[in-house]
Structure 1
Amino acid sequence: MARRKLSHEGTLVLDSEGLSKLLGDDEQVVAMVAEARRRGMEAVICALTIIEAVHTGTNKARLAWVLSGLRVIAVGDEEAKAASALLMAAGLHGHKYAIDAAVAATAMAQQRPVVMLTSDVDDMTKLCGGRVRLVAV
């Protein structure tokens, strides 16, 4: 499978599908994460992504190993306020989009350029606008 090109330096953010696919050893996602690291990009996730991606069938040892290679960004007051502002600006409600908004706020706070691996390009476009390059996985 051909690798997708990622920008030099900056940050690679994985949403829940990106993390799920990395946990499942998806060839495309593993290759994109490896390429990002090769180019000096930091791979990160929002802490809430773990909640969304993990299920009863998740291999706990694999999860711990994958997480050890990512920077997990905590969601505190400032991050919650930033996510809330994104929701309001996009005209979305937190009940349905809360975790997506936290992931988007996390992405926008990282070193540029920022690339996000996501299964939800439509919603992330509403939240991030053109400030984050979205790559469908």
Structure 2
Amino acid sequence: MARRKLSHEGTLVLDGEGLSKLLADDELVVALVAEARSRGMEGVISSLAIIEAVHACTNKARLNWVLSGLRVVPVGDEEARAASKLLTDAGLHGHRCAIDAAVAEAALRQHRPVVMLTSDIDDMTKLCGDRVRLVAV
């Protein structure tokens, strides 16, 4: 399998689908996360992406282990307001894209370069522009 190259240092951000696939041991996502770590990139996830990824069948021990290797970024009032502005600027609605906006807002605050593993390239492109490298998972 061909491996996608990530940048040196910086930050790797996972959205909800990125976390879901990491929890499921998806070969591509596991390889990308391992490569990012080997290059010194910090793994980051928005606290709201965790809510999006977890369901009744989630192995809680595995979830806790995976999250122990990531920095969880909380969403408070300031972050929520910034995410709302991203939605407005992108012409998107919070009803459908609230969590994506919180993930994008967190990504935009990280040490650059920032790479995001996401299943929603279209909306994340609108929210992040060219400031975050998006990798489809």
For normalisation by structure 2, the TM-score amounts to: 0.98
Q: What secondary structure is seen at the aligned counterpart in 1 of 2:56?
A: coil
Match of 1:109 in 2: 109
- Matched to 1:29, the amino acid is V
Shift of 1:2: 2.1
Deviations 1:26-73 (A, max 9, x none): 111011001001101000000000100000110011001000011000
Q: How does 1:1-137 map to 2 (within 5 A)?
A: 1-137=1-137
Name stretches of at least 5 consecutive residues in structure 1 with no aligned partner.
none
Q: Secondary structure at the match of 2:116?
A: strand
User: Where do 5+ consecutive residues of structure 2 fail to align?
Assistant: none
Cα separation, 1, equivalents of 2:94 and 2:118:
19
The code of the aligned residue for 2:63 comes to: L
Could you report, residue by residue, the CA deviation over 1:66-117 in whole angstroms, capped at 9, with x for unpaired residues?
Answer: 0001100000111111101100100111111100000000000000000000
Q: How many residues align?
A: 137
Given residue 42 of structure 1, which amino acid in structure 2 is its aligned partner?
A: E
Identity within the alignment, %? 80
RMSD across aligned positions (CA): 0.6
Q: What is the CA distance between 1:3 and its match in structure 2?
A: 1.6
CA distance in 2, matches of 1:99, 1:116: 14
SS in 1 for 2:112: coil
| Partner AA of 1:47 in structure 2 | S
Quick one: distance in 2 between partners of 1:100 and 1:112? 19
| AA partner of residue 40 (structure 1) | G
Q: Which amino acid aligns with 1:89?
A: D
SS in 2 for 1:62: helix
Amino acid at match of 1:12: L
What is the letter of the counterpart of residue 72 of structure 1? V
Q: CA deviation at 1:17?
A: 0.7
Residue 21 (structure 1) shift = 0.4
* Moved beyond 6 Å, runs of 4+: none
